[in-house]
Each structure stands twice: as C-alpha cells, then as structure tokens.
C-alpha cells in the first residue's frame, strides 16, 4: 500500500502537524481489513499489478495516460486488464493505461473543460479535492502543475482504483485519503484551492459543508463548487420527498440565486457563477467498465427533461468563491 511519509513531511512543513498526528491514527483505522469485506481482495489486485516503467505520462489530455501499448507484451496486457476489471465499476475518468482504454461512466474531462479556464492558476498551489472518487481530477490538477494535491473520499473502492493507477505512474505529489470532510481538523486553513464537485446535494446540512470547506482554505483561497441546481428565483430550493434520479441521499437542490445567498451567508466573497450545464446521457452512461444503470435509466424514457420521479432532470452549475 501507499507510503504517506512524504505527505506527512509536507504537511509538517506547512505547520499542519496536528493533522499529521490525526492521520497516523485515522488511516490505519480506515484501511482495517475487517471493516470492509472486499478490501483484502482489492489489495491483492493491487499487489499483483506489475511495477512498470514508462517515460510516457500525460496528465493534460482528456484521458489520464500512462504508458504506451507497445511497451508491454500480451501477457502483461492481460494481467493489467484483469486487474482493472476486478476493480470495477469505474465511475470517473477516462484513463489510458499502457494502451488499455478505461471508458468510465462519467466523461469527467467535460467537467474539467468547463472550469479550467475560469479558476485561479493551479501552478504551485496546494489543493484539496473533496469527494474526489478515484482521483481523475486530482491527476488533472497535478498536470496543471499543482504543488500538492490531496483528495478525500470515503469509498474504499475509489481509493483502491487510485492506488492501482499511482502504482503505474510512480511517485507523485498526489494522495487520496479514505476520509470525509468532517474528519479533517477544524480551522485547517491549509489549502490555496478547494474543490467540492458533486457533494453538496448529498449533505443534510449544506451550510455546514460550505463552512467546513471555507475552514480548509487559507485567507484569499478559492473554492470551486460544482453541484446540482434547479431553475428558479431566490430562496427556491428543491427538497425531494423521496429519491432523486433514483438516488436516496439527495437533500437540497437550490436555485443559483439561492446558492449564491448560501455562499454569502457562510462568509465567502467574490462569488461568481461560471457555468450551467444540463447533463446528457452522453456525459454519464453505462460502459463495459461500469455496467450497472446510469443516467438513461434515471430519466423518463419519453422525456429526458424529467427524472424517473417526475422532477427536473439533472442540471449542474459551477461557482467560484473566495475566502476573505
């Protein structure tokens, strides 16, 4: 498994020794075998992935690319393909790993393209990605020359997918931790930029989430917030009575004006809306790497403007805001 000493040293140099003390206890607990029935299987998969060497690593294209197909033989290709298949489903991507194309459920590169020209330059920044999944956007942040990227996500399968990719890539200032945002120390004030993409509507208290995000930022740091929204005026918020697009844990979907008010109420400044996009079945779909139901199954068959429950279909917005 991944060594965290370089991360601990970096955090200590940033006067975040309190977090290091906490992490040395949290990480072993989160990765305790008895806590998850499939963890030992996933760890075995990663152990069997061969250590390969390639100078071809591209983090600035749509697909995170490590290695070329001609650098490995057929047996190694079969070994890698089997390992990646055992780590299905793959939700965020795409990836191209020694010629194996992992076509993930989400075209996460489309979201990246919507925001990259609007945010502060990532070069030499310390960055946090909350709810990062398997780390696709973390690799894109590293490709944009971030100094250190830390992702957090509680889903251990996503963590294992990241470890598999990092084993092929090699050492990098890029780590994903099996944590939730509330597991981080209060008033951390460590990061130049914090991303929260696809998380806010899963939180029972959106205000607590926004305040926790603000606490992670240094003064002057930037929040990149991407979330579901509805059309509507100020103070309009959709609270689904049951599921939303078959998801159980969707609590609040605000209008853009409401979300701007929330950000202001939480003390953010320089708030601006940079993108609104209706999600299509081309952006989120089933593939051979994620064969269960996807967006097409969550919408009404004859009317893709409505979810299967009759609610407005997913529309997502991206906001930028600064901590004063």
- pLDDT tens string 280-317: 999 999 999 999 999 999 999 999 999 999 999 999 99
pLDDT for 2: 74
| Segment 206-214 mean pLDDT | 98
Domains: count for the chain:
1
The answer to whether residue 78 scores a pLDDT higher than 90 is yes
| Segment 126-149 mean pLDDT | 98
Radius of gyration (C-alpha) of the chain in whole angstroms: 20
Q: How far apart are the first and last CA of the chain?
A: 39
* Residue 259 structural domain: 5-322
| Segment 251-268 mean pLDDT | 98
CATH number of the CATH domain containing 310: 3.40.50.150
Distance CA 163, CA 165 (A): 5
pLDDT for 33: 74
pLDDT for 32: 86
Whether 130 and 181 have beta carbons less than 8 Å apart is answered as yes
The pLDDT mean for the chain works out to: 96
pLDDT for 1: 59
């Amino acid at each position: 498994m991944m060594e965290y000493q370089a991360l601990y040293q970096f955090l200590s140099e940033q006067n975040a020794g309190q977090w290091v003390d906490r992490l040395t206890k949290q990480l072993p607990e989160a990765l305790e075998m008895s806590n998850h029935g499939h963890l030992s299987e996933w760890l075995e998969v990663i152990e069997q992935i061969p250590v390969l060497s390639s100078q071809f690593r591209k983090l600035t294209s749509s697909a995170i690319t490590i290695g070329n197909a001609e650098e490995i033989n057929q047996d190694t290709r079969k070994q890698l393909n089997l390992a990646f298949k055992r780590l299905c489903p793959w939700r965020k991507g795409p990836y191209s790993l020694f010629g194996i194309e992992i076509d993930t459920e989400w075209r996460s590169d489309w979201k990246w393209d919507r925001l990259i020209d609007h945010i502060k330059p990532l070069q030499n920044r310390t960055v946090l990605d909350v709810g990062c999944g398997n780390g696709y956007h973390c690799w894109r942040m590293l490709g944009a020359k971030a100094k250190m990227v830390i992702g957090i996500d509680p889903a251990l399968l996503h963590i294992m997918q990241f470890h598999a990719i990092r084993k092929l890539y090699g050492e990098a200032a890029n780590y994903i931790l099996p944590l939730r945002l509330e597991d981080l120390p209060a008033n951390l004030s460590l990061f130049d930029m914090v991303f929260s993409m696809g998380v806010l509507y899963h939180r029972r208290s959106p205000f607590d989430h926004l305040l926790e995000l603000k606490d992670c930022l240094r003064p002057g740091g930037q929040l990149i917030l991407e979330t579901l929204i509805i059309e509507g005026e100020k103070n309009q918020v959709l609270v689904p009575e049951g599921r939303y697009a078959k998801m159980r844990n969707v609590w609040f979907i605000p209008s853009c004006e409401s979300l701007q008010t929330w950000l202001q109420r939480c003390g953010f400044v320089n708030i601006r809306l940079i993108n609104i996009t209706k999600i299509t079945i081309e952006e989120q779909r089933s593939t051979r790497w994620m064969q269960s139901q996807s967006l097409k199954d969550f919408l009404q068959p004859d009317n893709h403007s409505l979810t299967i429950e009759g609610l407005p279909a997913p529309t997502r917005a991206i906001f930028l805001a600064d901590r004063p």
